[in-house]
Amino acid sequence: MAPLTAAQTLLSPVELSYLHSSLSLHPPIRPDSRSPSQFRPLVAETDILPSTNGSARICFADGTEAIVGIKAEVENSALRYSGGEGGVHLGTGRQDEEMGDVEEEDGIEKVGGERTGRKGAGKNSWVEMTIEIPGYRDDDALPVFLAAMLNEALLVSGDLPDKLWINRRFHWKLYIDILLLSPPQSYPLPLLSLTTHLALLSTRLPKLKSEQDEDPLFDDDWDASVYLYPHHHPTTITSTSTSTSNSNSSNSQKSPRERPPITILAMAVCSNIIFDPTAAELAVADAILAISVDETPHSPSSSSPSPKLEDGARHLRLLAIRTIDLPSRSTAPGVPDSLNTAAGGSKVKSGGEDVSGRMEEKGDGRGQEGVWVPPRGGMKRGLVARMVGMVLGRGGVAEEVLGGLDGVEVG
């Protein structure tokens, strides 16, 4: 579980109880009047840092701001030892071809029986991420866990490391530096994820001019550079129509394209599921979940089964799910008026039995109505399934967020 120590909201038990009751209504009443799936307004821009391969900045309405810069450097790939008739040698160049250890299978180059082509050739060590948060050391729990969760979403599919493969001898090393410019007003994971998403979309790599296993030679013209995540949309014909200019013109529909992952933060209060919660809302959450998804191109000819997409739908893929420690568990419970001496109650019964820590519980286990009781227990599988379904479903939260990010000008 990732720690939630970014923003400790100091609320009294009475305030916690009132806020929990408001968020438990149908529909829930949020302090900022947003709907359950509505995100906070934000300002986003890309390509803001010079001398970087990609960069982005996002500022939330509460003033929390993050900047991400990405640098790419060429590095030598790790030496691979392979055997042959001439003894043990380093299998990173053309010597493997002379020894007969290079073979072609379905367009994928193999050395010594191991795949060294672009697909599946990347390594997680080719991506390095650092996060800096004001008031926190680099080895504090919060930056370490945030970097681990963002890195997991980037590397779990293996698509990003594969993009960094140049040839058997060289690869790109990607350095992702994330800076939170202001102390976090809420859990900063969604902000950092969205900013990293835009920075990766704007990342360019010089165009490669060399071939095969030659030393990398790149085009000096930056305008000829290629995006790490291509921006073009392949089109497919969906229908034909008759127009005044061309009776055989066709209507084309944009197909989903590959995009970096995003991580969405969701919380549950009773049966309500709320997205992009603030620090105050997180203080009364019964469960918190970080859901990482990405968009991949839809290929009907793929060997793995995939659902048929409707017009305009996105091919979303679930990458990772992480639970977040509940800050509400560290809050102090409320005291009923019947047991509060300051309100005229009696703390100790006539028989001498102390009942200050015992309250009559109802069926939901929350105690007396209007009295704050920190949540106990974990998340039910049905609740996790509901959260994931609201994110990945047709017209769900993930599609809404990706649609909003499509409006940000990149490049």
Q: Which DSSP string do the residues of 193-231 spell out, in sequence order?
A: HHHHHHHHHT-EEPPB-S-TTSPP-B-S-GGG-EESS--
Q: Which of 99-108, 133-142, 324-333, 382-391 is predicted with the least confidence, judged by mean pLDDT?
A: 99-108
Tell me the C-alpha distance between 192 and 202, whole Å: 15
Please write the tens of the pLDDT for every residue from 289-309.
999 999 887 543 454 444 445
Please write the tens of the pLDDT for every residue from 7-41.
556 788 888 889 999 999 999 999 999 999 999 99
Write phi, then psi, for 336 (nearest 5 degrees).
-60, 155
How high is the pLDDT of residue 113?
37
Tell me the C-alpha distance between 364 and 321, whole Å: 26
Instruction: Write the CA distances from 43 to 19, 61, 62, 202, 389, integer angstroms.
Output: 28, 8, 11, 16, 28
Residue 358 reports pLDDT greater than 90:
no
Contact 333, 340 (CB under 8 A): no
Position of tokens 């821009």? 45
Please write the tens of the pLDDT for every residue from 4-16.
554 556 788 888 8
Q: Is the pTM of this model over 0.95?
A: no
Local structure of 99: helix, strand or coil: coil
